[in-house]
Amino acid sequence: MPELVFFSGTMDCGKSTLALQIAHNRSARGLVGVIFTRQDRAGEGRLSSRLGLVTEAVEVTDTMDVYAYLVRELSAGGKADYVIVDEAQFLAPDQIDQLARIVDDLEMDVFAFGITTDFRTKLFPGSQRLIELADRLEQLQVEALCWCGARATHNARTVGGAMVVEGEQVVVGDVNQAVAEVGYEVLCRRHHRRHMTSASAHAGALSPDVLPVNHA
């Protein structure tokens, strides 16, 4: 039975790499896929991995009906056996419903990849709808690491190396961005709560949260 599968994880955990791997494996078996993306770091109409792999993709716009797009392609003689959607967190909830319709009405597997929460630890609307509708949820097994070495569970937005917690939900950036620019860093929950990025940790003193020492 075809499925809507949501692969989730923090930034820098290999989501786009896995999407490209699934496309490669199915292509090697003669299957044809349609790849959608939204606001990829490599630019419009691209699906890119931090390992340097890039492929062309269909850029999803605010008003696009992805189900209708696919039906038009098939009606014009195109072929599609499955669908891949990267940066799925940026899709609108009704576009996630359209992905579910592709599975149910066109009987195709849909593999969606994205992060669940934003830099404020709030669910992206697209990710929330995927959690509600997906046949299967898959947490990626490649663990991104916080600067302290612990498993990274949260995405932090940084400006000048300092973590920020206010602003628009969607601002395109990347990890390993120049310190002076808007960027992102993956952190464990403890350091996300303390707003402690790698830059601030290496520049600062001990956290004020340390336990007091009893000299008595």
Q: E strand or H helix at 90, and its extent?
A: none
- Residue 46 dihedral angles phi and psi, to the nearest 5°: -135, 140
Q: E strand or H helix at 83, and its extent?
A: strand 82-85
Task: Write b or e for each residue in 96-107: b if 16 or more Cβ atoms lie within 10 A of its Cβ, otherwise e.
Answer: bebbbbbbeeee
Annotated catalytic residues are 87
Structure tokens given for 37: 């993306």
Structure tokens given for 7: 């692969």
Structure tokens given for 67: 């189900």
**Are 195 and 153 within 8 A, CB to CB?**
no
Distance CA 189, CA 167 (A): 20
Distance CA 104, CA 92 (A): 19
Instruction: Give how far Cα 206 sits from Cα of 99, 185, 191, Å.
Output: 48, 20, 13
Give residues with Cβ within 8 angstroms of 18, minimum separation 6. 7, 113, 140
